[in-house]
Chains A and B, each alone.
Chain A
C-alpha cells in the first residue's frame, strides 16, 4: 500500500513539475541569466538543481498495477506483524525475560546464569520421537562445585498422558578430578508403548489372536510402568579433543505391564493379538539388577580445522543373580567422521552391534535390543524389531548451511536375529533413509530434526541420532 501511495504521490509531483510544459509556457525552459549564491535548501529537488523534478521512471508506471495488487497481502502482513512487533517491543522494553528469569533462577547477580551455584525452577518443554511433546517442570542446582556438576529433579507429562519423574546428579569431573559420577532415579508411566512381536520379520500378517510373537509381526500396544535406579562410577580422561571415559555401572529396574490406556480407534492391545505367555516377562512384572563396564572414546579436532573425528563405545555386563532372570549383554559402536571437503562436508560411517545372551526364557522382552526410532534404524518406528542380536550400519553425509545449521542425508540398514550366525548367513536387512537439519553451535548440538522413510515416514527429533546407545537407559 505504501508503495502504491508513494508512486501516486511521485506521479502527481511530476505532473505539477511539468505543468508549465503542458501549458505551453517557455518560461521554464529559459536559461536564467543571473547566477545567485547557492540557495539555502534541504529539499532534494532543489539541492539537485534541476529545472524540473526528476522524472517518473517507466518502471514505476509498469509496477503500478502489481503494486496495487500486492498492497492487499502487504496490508494483511502488516496487520499480522503489528502485534508481533508490539509484543517483542514490550518484552524487551519491560525486561520481561530477565524478570521471569529472576523469579525462576537463584543466581549470582554479577556472574549470571553460568556462575557457580546457580539454581532454578524452570518450566520444561521437550520434543522427542520417543516421548513426543512433553511439558513439565524441573529444578536444578548447577555447577555447585565449579566443575560442571548438576543435581536435577524433573517431572514431565506428555500429550499421550506419559509421565516421567527423574532425580539425578551428575558430574564428569568431580571437584576437578577425573572422577565421573552419575546417579539417576526415575519412575515412568507409559500408557501405550508399541510391540511388534519378536524377530526380524518385517511382514505384517493378518490380524490374529493369541499369535506367536516370533511368527507374527503386528502392531499392538501395552502400558508400562517402570522404576529405575542407575549408578555410574568411573573416570573421565584426557582433554577436549581426545577424551575417554571408563566406568562401571549398576542398574536396578522394576517393570509392570498392563493393558494400554487411551488407544486410538483401530489400534489393538498386545493381549488381544499375542499369546503373552510366549513373551518372556510380560506376565511376571520383572525386576532385574544389572552390572556392566562401559568405555567410550571421542576424538576430534578441537581447532575445528578438520572434520575428521571418531567415536567409539563398548559395554559389557549382565543381570546379577537376582530373582528369575539371568543374561549377559554387550554392545559396541564405532563411528568415523571423514572430512570430505573444507572440514565441514563429512561422511559418517557407523556400525553398531548389540546383543543379549542367555537362555531364551530368562531374558525379559524389554531387555532385548531393538531397532527403529531415532538412534537405531531411522525410518522405522521405535521398537519395530526386537531380538537378541541387532546390527545397524549407517552412511550419513553432513554438510553446512549456516553457522548454526547443517544438513544431513543418510541411509541406515539394520537387522535383528536370534543368533549371530543367522544374522549374516541369511541377512534380511531393513533399510531406511532420509535427510534433515542439525541445529548446532561450534561445539554443541542442540537439536536434530530429520525425516526418514522406511516403513512409512518418520519424523525424528533428537540431540544426536548417531549415538546408538544414548537412549539405552531410557528404552531398556
Chain B
C-alpha cells in the first residue's frame, strides 16, 4: 500500500487515539437496563472503620489522589442517550415516567407503617441518633430512631422527605416512616441484645430503653415520634466504597467515582442538603431475586439532610464547606477574617424542625459542599449535573407538597416554607445546571424531522427559547422558536437528511443573545430513521 493511501487512514486512526475522532453509534436499541444482577457467590461484609475512613477522606487518600493527577473523565455507565440504565444501583423512575402525587409520596413503601404492638429486639449500632431495632405485630423488622431533644421533628421529618425524593429520583432506599410510638405498646423481647463499647453482645435492658426514650424530645400525649426504617431484605454487606469497584462482585465493573448516578447525586444532595454523604450511609444487600443472588446497592439514613446535620453538629457552614475544607479554610486563615464567607450572614429560619435550611435566598448550587468529601462528587462534570438536574426539575410543586406532607411537621407554616424552599432550590438547580448546556431532550425522529423538548422552557426555568440546527461550519442552518412551556410541550423540530445512512445533527439552544454549547444527535436516516445516540457536550 502506497504511503499516499495510508496517510489519511493513519491520521484518522491517530486522531481517534488522541480523542479527535467523530464517534459513531452502533445501530442497536438503546440499553435501558444493564446486566449487573448475575448470580455471585456471597461477598464479604465490608467494614466501616470511621477513623481510617476520615483519615483517608481528609488527608491520606486525598494526597494519594492528588499525586495521580486525576483528570476529568466522563461518566462510564451511560447509554447512547447519555442516560443511566436501570441497574442494581439505580432505577429510572421520575426521569422516565410520570408519577402521581400519591405514588411519589408513598415512595418505596409497599406494606404501610409498622403496626403495634412493638418488640425491641436489639440496640442500634453506629450513627449518632438514639434508637433500637424492633419488630411489629406482623413480625416486620424496623430500625427506629428518634429526634434530638433540641430539634423536635427535625431528623424524623427530614428523613422521610428526603427518602421519598431519593426514591423518586431513582435510588434504592428503604421504606421509611414517621411513626408515633405508644410507650405501653413497646416491650423488650426476651432475647433482645445490644452491643457495648467493645462490640460485645450484652442483654438489652430496661435502663437502655429508658435512656433512649429520655434522650429525645418529650412524648406528646404519650406518643414518642420516631423514624421507622424497614429492614431491607437480604444480608447486609456493608457500605459501598466511594472509589473503585468491589472486587468480590463481578457485576461491579464501573468504578464508583465514574458512575453517573453517584456523580450526579451531588446535585440531588445539594437540593436536599444531604451533607452527611459518607460510606456509612450506603448499604450493599446480598439479595435473592428470581433464584439469583447478587448485590443491590442502597442509600440509607437521610435524617441529617435539610437542616439536620448542621443542627446536630452546630455547623452553620454545613452545606457550604467540607469539615476540613482545603479551599475555604486556608483562605480564611491567610486573609485574617477579611474573607467573608457567604454562610456566616445567614439567620435561622425560625422553624425548629428546619434549623438553618433554606435561609439562604441567594443559594447557588455550585457552592454547595457535602460535610465529608465524597469522591464521586469531585468527579461530577456538567453532563452529570445536567442529567441530575433534568430529573430534579420534573418534581412538580404538587409532588413536593405531597412528599413534605409525609414529614407531619406540627409547626404551623413549616410545610409551606419547606415546599417554597425546595421549589426555589429546584429552580436554582435548573438555571445553574440545565442552562449550562443546551437543555434539549426527548429526541425523536418524526418523518423528515428531528424533534426535541427544550426542558428549560418545559419546566419553567426560562420562559422561551430557540432551537437552532447548525451546519457543518457551525453556522445556523435552521431556527425554531419555542414560545412557552404550554405550547406543544416546549417541543420543536428541525429538518434532517432523508437519504439512507448515518447523520450527525448539531443542535443548540438560544436564550436571547446567549447561545448554549451545541450537542450532537446521531441518527440513522432513511426509511427506518431513528436516533442512535447523543453526545451532549462534545
Residues on A close to B: CB < 8 A?
2-3, 11, 14-15, 17-18, 21-22, 24, 29, 31-44, 46-52, 54-61, 63, 66-67, 70-71, 73-74, 77-78, 81, 84-85, 88-89, 91-93, 95, 98-99, 101-102, 109-110, 341-342, 344-345, 397, 399-403, 405, 407, 409, 442
Contact = CB atoms under 8 A, between A and B. Distances in A.
A102 B1 contact: no
B361 interface: no
A39 B1 CA distance: 38
A400 B6 CA distance: 65
Contact of A42 (B10, B24, B34, B207): B34
A407 B199 CA distance: 40
Nearest to B48: A92
Contact of A78 (B1, B13, B26, B64): B64
B499 interface: no
B501 interface: yes
Given A18-B13, A401-B329, A91 B337 contact: no
Contacts of A98: 197-198
Chain B contact residues (Cβ within 8 angstroms of A): what range? Answer: 35 or more
Contact of A402 (B23, B27, B52, B324): B324
A59 B72 CA distance: 9
B474 interface: no
A57 B71 contact: yes
A63 B73 CA distance: 13
Contact of A92 (B49, B68, B69, B315): B49
A47 B78 contact: yes
A276 B533 CA distance: 95
Given A43-B253, A70-B67, A102-B197, A36 B332 contact: no
Contacts of A402: 324-325, 329, 332
Top-10 shortest CB links A-B: A399-B337, A3-B68, A74-B67, A55-B19, A49-B80, A44-B76, A98-B197, A88-B52, A32-B27, A40-B35
Contact of A341 (B324, B325, B337): B337
B76 to A, nearest CB: 4
Interface in B1-43: 1, 6, 9-10, 12-13, 16-21, 23-36
Contacts of B68: 2-3, 67, 70-71, 74
A81 B64 contact: yes
A50 B52 contact: no
Contacts of B87: 42
A60 B71 contact: yes
A70 B51 CA distance: 27
Task: Pick the most buried of B69, B72, B85, B340: most chain A CB atoms within 10 A of its CB.
Answer: B69
Interface string B440-457: 000000000000000000
Given A32-B28, A77-B64, A93-B47, 8 more contacts: A18-B16, A40-B35, A46-B31, A48-B533, A51-B25, A88-B55, A99-B198, A399-B332
Contact of B19 (A31, A36, A57, A92): A57
Contact of A102 (B85, B198, B325): B198
B532 interface: yes
B253 A44 contact: yes
B336 A39 contact: no
B52 A37 contact: no
Contacts of A58: 18-20
B151 interface: no
Given A31-B27, A35-B28, A84-B60, A14 B17 contact: yes
B359 to A, nearest CB: 14
Nearest to A112: B197
A49 B52 contact: no
Given A21-B13, A58-B18, A342-B344, A77 B29 contact: no
B29 A38 contact: yes
A55 B20 contact: yes
B26 A49 contact: yes
B436 interface: no
Contacts of B44: none
A243 to B, nearest CB: 21
Nearest to B34: A42
B49 A89 contact: yes
Contacts of B316: 403
B116 interface: no
B63 interface: yes
17 contacts: A3-B69, A15-B17, A34-B27, A38-B33, A41-B34, A48-B79, A50-B25, A55-B16, A55-B20, A57-B18, A58-B20, A95-B198, A102-B198, A341-B340, A400-B332, A401-B329, A402-B329
Given A55-B17, A92-B52, A401-B332, A38 B26 contact: no
A112 to B, nearest CB: 8
B532 A49 contact: yes
Contacts of A42: 34-36, 87, 251, 253
B15 to A, nearest CB: 8
Contacts of A31: 27, 501-502, 524
Q: Name which of B10, B64, B68 has the most chain A CB atoms within 10 A of its CB.
A: B68
Nearest to A17: B16
